[in-house]
Amino acid sequence: MITRLKDKELKRQSRRQLLKLAPVAVLGVFAFPKVSDRLVAAGVHFSDWASGEMFRSQHRAQTFADSEVVPFAKFPYNGYDVLDPEVDLEKWRLMVEGDVQHPGEYTLAQIQALPKVSQNTRHVCVEGWDVVGSFGGARVSDFLKLVGANTGAHFVEVECADDYYESIDMASALHPQSLMCYEMYGAPLDRMHGAPLRLQMPTKLGYKQAKYLTVVRVTNVLKAGKTGYWEDQGYSWFGGL
Amino acid sequence: MSKEEQDQEHQEEQHAEKRDTVPPSEPDPVDEPVKESCAVEITEVKAEAVAEPALAQSVANLDEPAAEGSALVRAAYEHPLPIRLTHWVNAISLFVMVTSGLRIFRAFPSFGPKIPEKILLDIPKSLTLGGWLGGALQWHFTFMWFFVASGVFYLAYQVCSGHYRTVLFTPTDIPGVWPMARHYFFFGPKPPVAGQYNPLQKLAYTSSVAFGALSLLTGIVLYKPAQFSWLAFLFGGFHLTRIWHFAAMCGFLAFIPGHLIMVLLHGWSNFFSMLSGWKREPEYQE
């Protein structure tokens, strides 16, 4: 709508309206790397909180028919450091610590004695690729029951033979599709996919699904700067799908 | 100073204060300042003002005896504050989302399988933000909130205020698109200017909102494909959704250069109106 007003008045109105935009200038702090580094880390923290809130503990990720699974040869090997930390499979034991009634060493046979779950699910990498694979193992929730874990605790931490480490929120650990995985494509996990035992969770990104497990710890506190190998460098801690 | 003089001065001060406190944005930002200050003069001289600017000036002068620059200027309060705020927050967010998004895409620059990986595009690092995948994700996961908040607030304002009528592309605008495009891109004759936005502008602005909605919905799927599996299904699965998300960005990348060139071509007054709301001497009549 056209208005006619004095030049001076127009200038005054324009100036006043311009000043009202000042709040936008606050975003300018993102131009300073020292500040923005912390702000975007806080942004991810907020997004992780929102992700935790929207996580539905009983909602299952999509599963696929055997015909939709990619051939084993097309399932990528991905490691952060070495692809084969040369675990001595004969002597391997899983150390269980923390807020559990039965801490100590567990054998693979004890884990394999738990009800076995086989599932064809999508493995999503933070890089953007995804692949549908076939996995088998025991539910993390069953294993936590076996060791008498306090499932009211907040976190499950794991350590790995290749010095990788991770931590998972308890709700995701207890998800019915979260596995202590010892099989892929119906065969024992091969060395480069994390033998003898890895996490497999279709509700988490690949980097959360640690391979070559050696330690499982149930805890209420995560050490700052020791929440996960990639997370400590800036990846989202929740990493949920 | 005599009492009368003091009173007069006091009245003038009050008058000035009154004008100062006029809220220019609500409820009708265009009319308010005029009603309060010089509406009387304008309604009387409106007809003559165009033909006889001198008369308008002399009438206006009665109000402020020593005023300078008191000639009447045609102006329009084109962009209400919520539009300007969301425009700039959105512009900054979009810049961050696109540049960090390109950095994320660099981590797996393909839409095919991981094995074998066919690199589709090698995006120069200089066009990207974040330094590495993790850094880019931090920017992306921070500014997605600003992007969505500004978009949702913008739409809510447009709908509630009815302001959307000036900018929403409707079927009646279709015949006007080609003449405008011909004028801009092929130096055709300039179609008559009817309102604040021409059909091509309406098309551009309306489709950029559609690109925003598409980036949001596909972004939700890529971020939480397990929680929003039904939405992934709507877009044809996780894999295809990643392509849609990229396509939405391409939509923005098609819009932005055209938008910026038009801003450059239309000069300072037009650009400044997105900062101050007011446009001096608009091209259109009412």
Dihedral class, residue B187 (left if φ above 0, else alpha if ψ from -120 to 50, else beta): left
Helices (H), chain A: 7-19, 33-54, 108-112, 140-146, 170-173
Domain coverage including residue B87? 81-277
Cβ <8 Å between A128 and B139? no
Strand bridging mode A104-106 / A165-169: unpaired
Please state, as a whole number, how many other Cβ atoms lie within 10 Å of the Cβ of residue B46: 12
When pLDDT is cut at 50, 70 and 90, the band that residue B83 belongs to is: very high
Q: Is the pLDDT at B9 greater than 50, yes or no?
A: no
The verdict on a CB contact (< 8 Å) between B226 and A44 is no
Residue B174: its pLDDT value, please? Answer: 86
What would the mean pLDDT of B149-175 be, rounded to a whole number? 91
Of B24, B38, B107, the CB nearest to A16: B24
Per-residue pLDDT tens over the stretch B183-225: 888 888 888 877 788 888 889 899 999 999 999 999 999 999 9
Q: Which residues contact B114 (CB under 8 A, 6 or more apart)?
A: A74, A76, A125, A129, A131, B108
pTM: 0.82
Q: Are residues A26 and A133 in the same domain?
A: no
Domain boundary among B77, B107, B130: B77
Whether B139 and B188 share a structural domain? yes
Q: What is the mean pLDDT of residues A218-233?
A: 93
What value does the mean pLDDT take over residues A45-55?
94
- B70–A70 CB contact, under 8 Å: no
Higher pLDDT, A31 or B49: A31
Residue A184 sits in the same domain as residue A97: yes
Structural domain includes residue A215: yes
Tell me whether residue B121 is exposed, middle or buried, using C-beta atoms within 10 angstroms of its C-beta: 0 to 12, 13 to 18, 19 or more: exposed
CA–CA–CA angle A26, B204, B146 (5° rounding): 25
Q: What is the CA radius of gyration of chain A?
A: 24
Contacts of B91 in chain A (CB under 8 A): none
Residue A129 pLDDT grade (very low, low, confident, very high; cuts 50, 70, 90): very high
Q: Using the 3D structure, point to which of B55, B77, B99 is the last residue of a domain.
A: B77
Cα separation of A166 and A146, whole Å?
A: 21
Residue B134 near residue A233 (C-beta atoms within 8 A): yes
Cα A169 to Cα A152, A175, A239, B40, B272: the distances in Å are 11, 10, 10, 69, 50
Which site among B73, B81, B197, B229 would you substitute to test the A interface, given the most A Cβ atoms closer than 10 Å to its Cβ?
Answer: B73
* Per-residue pLDDT at A120: 97
> Residue B70 — very low, low, confident or very high, per pLDDT cuts 50/70/90?
low
Whether the per-residue pLDDT at B21 is higher than 70: the answer is no
CB contact at 8 A, B196 and B282:
yes
Give yes or no for a contact between A43 and B142, defined as CB atoms under 8 angstroms apart: yes
What radius of gyration, in Å, describes the C-alpha atoms of chain B? 25
Amino acid letter, residue B163: H
Q: Which residues of A touch B107 (CB under 8 A)?
A: 126-128
Contact A4 B42 (CB under 8 A): yes
Task: Report the residue from A5, A21, A47 with minimal CB separation from B275.
Answer: A21
Copy the structure tokens of residue A107.
């054998």
Domain end, chosen from B46, B77, B108, is at B77
Q: Which residues pair with A116 in a beta bridge?
A: A138
Give the domain extent around A189: 60-79+88-233
Instruction: Mark whether A127 and A216 lie in a shared domain.
Output: yes
Residue A128 to residue B73, Cβ atoms within 8 A: no
CATH of residue A229: 3.90.420.10
Question: Is B231 found in the same domain as B149?
Answer: yes
Q: Output the average pLDDT for chain B.
A: 78
| A1 occurs within a structural domain | no
Number of domains in chain B: 2
- Taking residues A69-94, report their average pLDDT: 87
pLDDT exceeds 70 at position B52: no
Mean pLDDT of A139-145: 96
Beta strand pairing call for A155-160 and A165-169: antiparallel
What is the percent of chain B with per-residue pLDDT over 90, rounded to a whole number? 42
Is residue A33 within 8 A of residue B61, CB to CB? The reply is no
Distance separating alpha carbons of residues A48 and B241, to the nearest angstrom: 22
Determine the 3-state secondary structure of A1 from DSSP: coil
* Model ipTM value: 0.92
CATH of residue B160:
1.20.950.20
Band (pLDDT 50/70/90 cuts) for residue A84 is confident
Spell out which residues of chain B touch residue A18, defining contact as CB-CB under 8 Å.
Answer: 275-276
B162 and B69, same domain (yes or no): no
Q: What's the whole-number mean pLDDT along residues A146-156?
A: 96
- Cα distance from A79 to chain B (closest Cα, Å)? 14
